[in-house]
């Protein structure tokens, strides 16, 4: 199996401010001919913005066959953040072919989604496509009415304890888990996600087919700036799948390759 992803040039057709920290980019143009969805609802693409060579990774919020929608979090500083914060309509970016990892077991009766603002596009798209009994925990500062296509009582909105911090680890540890089989999907800051993976495996004894926990971004450690993930999860994902590894093993390998330390 090849670990090289196809690449496509795309033009920013529209830029919309969804909320204070979320910007919607609608990409299109002839360069996207041949782009195809993997059909996996948390699929992501690598994005290279003008004047840069490093990729950052964004969930395919939707693909209509001609328009590719990415919802981009604009946080304090960052390569894509700074570019997406200004008027970028008409500019050409490069995206890779999509890959996704959401894979609930056939006997799952319920689906729990937990995440921060970067996880909202994937949680929205998963929610659109699932027929499982769904609950969502969203830790966001922004007001996003109607963003998640589910009834209000299915969603628990949580405020982060402080700017660019998270209490999702405590939230997950405090959940009362159903007896019947289900699927737990989560994405957020990498160091937290490593702890949560460990909690699910060691403390809850869940089989690794029962959860998918992904480090979407790399936070800072006191006294030292942490580099964010600059490693494409796509090849690691495809190579891991080809080698028969579990989602948990693949995402742990991704964290290790990205050089993050808890």
Ligand X SMILES: Cc1cc2nc3c(=O)[nH]c(=O)nc-3n(C[C@H](O)[C@H](O)[C@H](O)COP(=O)(O)OP(=O)(O)OC[C@H]3O[C@@H](n4cnc5c(N)ncnc54)[C@H](O)[C@@H]3O)c2cc1C
Part in contact with ligand X (CB under 6 A); list of ranges 125-133, 172-180, 195-203, 228-236: 228-236
Q: Which of 25, 72, 93, 172 binds ligand X (CB under 6 A)?
A: 72
> Is residue 228 within the footprint of ligand X (CB under 6 A)?
yes
- CB 166, CB 145: distance < 8 Å: no
* Closer by beta carbon to ligand X, 56 or else 135: 56
Binding mask 73-92 for ligand X (x = CB under 6 A): x-x-xxxxx-----------
DSSP-assigned letters across all residues of the chain: ---PPPEEEEEEEEEEEEETTEEEEEEESGGGTT----S-TT-EEEEE-TT----EEEE--EE-SS-EEEEEE--SS-HHHHHHTS--TT-EEEEEPPB------TT--EEEEEEEGGGHHHHHHHHHH--SEEEEEEE-SS--TTSS-S-GGGEEEE--SSTT---HHHHHHTPPPPSS-EEEEEEEEHHHHHHHHHIIIIIS---GGGEEEEEEE---BTTBPPPPP-S-HHHHHHHHHHTT--HHHHHHHHHHHTT---
> Is residue 216 within the footprint of ligand X (CB under 6 A)?
yes
> Is residue 233 within the footprint of ligand X (CB under 6 A)?
yes
> Is residue 56 within the footprint of ligand X (CB under 6 A)?
yes
Part in contact with ligand X (CB under 6 A); list of ranges 3-11, 107-115, 149-157, 223-231: 223-231
CB of 206 to ligand X, least distance (A): 21
> Is residue 46 within the footprint of ligand X (CB under 6 A)?
no
> Is residue 59 within the footprint of ligand X (CB under 6 A)?
yes
Tell which positions 106-135 bind ligand X, by CB under 6 A.
Answer: 118, 121
- CA dist list (Å): 18 to 15, 120, 128, 154: 9, 12, 18, 22
CB of 218 to ligand X, least distance (A): 5
> Is residue 217 within the footprint of ligand X (CB under 6 A)?
yes
Question: Which residue number places its CB atom closest to ligand X?
Answer: 78
* Closer by beta carbon to ligand X, 178 or else 259: 259
> Is residue 156 within the footprint of ligand X (CB under 6 A)?
no
The site for ligand X (CB under 6 A) is made up of: 44, 56-59, 71-73, 75, 77-81, 118, 121, 164, 214, 216-220, 225-226, 228-229, 233
């Amino acid at each position: 199996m090849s670990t090289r992803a196809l690449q496509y040039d795309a033009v920013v057709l529209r830029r919309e401010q969804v909320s204070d920290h979320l910007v919607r980019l609608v990409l299109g143009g002839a360069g996207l001919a041949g782009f195809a969805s993997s059909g996996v609802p948390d699929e992501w693409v690598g994005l290279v913005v003008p004047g840069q060579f490093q990729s950052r990774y964004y969930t395919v919020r939707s693909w209509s066959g001609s328009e590719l929608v990415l919802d981009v979090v604009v946080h304090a500083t960052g390569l894509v953040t700074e570019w997406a914060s200004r008027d970028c309509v008409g500019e050409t970016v490069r995206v890779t072919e999509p890959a996704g990892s959401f894979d609930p077991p056939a006997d799952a009766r319920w689906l729990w989604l937990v995440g921060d603002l970067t996880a909202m596009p994937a949680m929205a798209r998963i929610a659109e496509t699932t027929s499982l009994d769904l609950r969502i925990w969203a830790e966001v500062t922004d007001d996003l009415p109607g963003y998640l296509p589910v009834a209000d009582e299915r969603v628990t909105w949580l405020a982060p304890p402080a700017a660019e911090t998270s209490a999702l680890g405590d939230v997950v540890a405090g959940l009362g888990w159903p007896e019947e089989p289900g699927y737990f999907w989560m994405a957020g800051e990498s160091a937290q996600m490593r702890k949560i993976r460990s909690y699910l495996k060691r403390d809850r004894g869940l089989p690794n087919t029962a959860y998918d926990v992904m480090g979407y971004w790399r936070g800072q450690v006191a006294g030292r700036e942490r580099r964010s993930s600059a490693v494409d999860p796509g090849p690691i994902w495809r190579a891991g799948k080809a080698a028969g590894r579990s989602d948990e093993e693949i995402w742990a390998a991704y964290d290790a390759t990205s050089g993050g330390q808890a």
